[in-house]
Amino acid sequence: MSKSLRLSEKWFRRGLWLVSVVFAGFLIGLGSTLVGDLPQVERVRQMDDFIDHVAADPLRATVKTSEAAEHKASQELEQAELQLNVAQQASRNARETFGNWIATRRATAQPDQDSELIARTKALDALKAAEDKAEVRLSAQQQIALDARQAQERAQEQLGVLEHDANIKLEAEYRRIELRVFGYRLALTLPLLAVAGWLFVKKRKSTYWPFVWGFIYFALFAFFVELVPYLPSYGGYVRYIVGIVITVLVGRYAIVGLNRYLAKQKLAEQQPDQVRREELSYDVALARLAKSVCPGCERPVDLKSTDIDFCPHCGIGLYDHCGHCAARKSAFSKFCHACGTSAAASATNSAVTPPADSRAAGRLTGPVAAL
């Protein structure tokens, strides 16, 4: 088609295609912004919206109290362990000193040191009592920490069951929200596709075709980018079924269109040659001739051969002769390339004036007829 256009017309068409793309870009930007804001229509749901607060709140309070008790018990446990270590170290040191003193007393065997022996023994007993007291305190803190930890674990286990049920309800709600948002997308996209289909069928060759094609591109983008990726899967069944339905619809449209085109071509090939040429657009005919195909039936034809004046497939005239200079020219040309005579005027002259060979034949046969 572009080979049959004027140079200025080519650049105008390129500019109009650019307008179409820019128009589609702005529409896509507006549509993406609108579709991106669709999820805000739904309120964001959380697990707490579905949990049993009557049962969960006391458990959460128990967990919090147990955590605080365990933390406090851990701190006091560290202090008790430190005090026990100090008491044990003091007791060890005292026993070591007492052992050395006993060994010295046995070596000297001095009876006057019995009172000191009794005092040292009492001191050791006091240190042992302090050590035992520290161990008891340590054991008590360990028991408190253990009780707090076990209470926390029991509460966490019961709370986990409630949270699991709440998560199941939350996931179900998310699926419902996803379906609703997809419904919003579908409600926006399907009318766009319907309008785009109508524009493609009725208006794609109108005066304002750049805006028509821009809207068509926008509708296709909205369908394949803003709708198809968000189609619920359900394990792939929905997407495959939708793909099959769309393929069947598109395939059926293509088959019906092909049969309609073949029937139209068959009907057109039964019409007279002149009528068929008049019905063909000049630009369409030139574009098909540039591809070495018949403008009528679109089958390949050897246009370089000077012996072919008619299509061998449908019989439409491809070349004729100028009525003014008899030069061989394309039957679809509006002017003769040899003399510049209009094809319409050439056809009129050909209908009124017989060809040169017929006039010559008439001159030759005239005297014979007279004889």
3-state secondary structure 118-166: HHHHHHHHHHHHHHHHHHHHHHHHHHHHHHHHHHHHHHHHHHHHHHHHH
3-state DSSP call for residue 321? strand
Q: Under a CB-based contact definition with an 8 Å cutoff, are residues 59 and 155 in contact?
A: yes
How far is the CA of 335 from the CAs of 2, 276, 330, 343, 347, in angstroms?
Answer: 20, 19, 9, 5, 11
Residues 59-80 as b or e (16 or more Cβ within 10 Å = b): bbebbeebbebbeebeebbeeb
Q: How far is CA 295 from the centre of its chain?
A: 42
Output the six-digit token pair for 232: 């619920």
Coil, strand or helix at 363: helix
Q: In sequence order, which residues have a C-beta less than 8 Å from that of residue 178 and are 6 or more positions away?
A: 230, 232
Q: Which residue has the higher pLDDT, 134 or 236?
A: 134
Helix 209-224 and helix 7-36: axis angle, to 10°? 40
For the chain, how many residues are written?
371
pTM of the predicted model as reported, rounded to 2 decimal places: 0.50
Position 345 scores a pLDDT of 67
Secondary structure element (H or E) that encloses residue 357, with its range: helix 356-370
pLDDT tens figures, 187-230: 888 888 889 888 888 888 888 888 888 998 888 888 888 887 77
User: Is 35 a residue whose pLDDT tops 80?
Assistant: no
Q: With beta carbons less than 8 A apart as the criterion, state whether 345 and 322 touch.
A: no
Q: What is the mean pLDDT of residues 34-60?
A: 77
Domain boundaries, the chain: 1-232, 234-270, 281-370
What are the pLDDT digits (tens) for 282-329?
A: 888 888 888 888 888 888 888 888 888 888 888 888 888 888 888 888
How far apart are alpha carbons 297 and 190 in whole angstroms?
A: 37
Interval 254-276: pLDDT, tens: 898 888 888 887 887 777 777 77
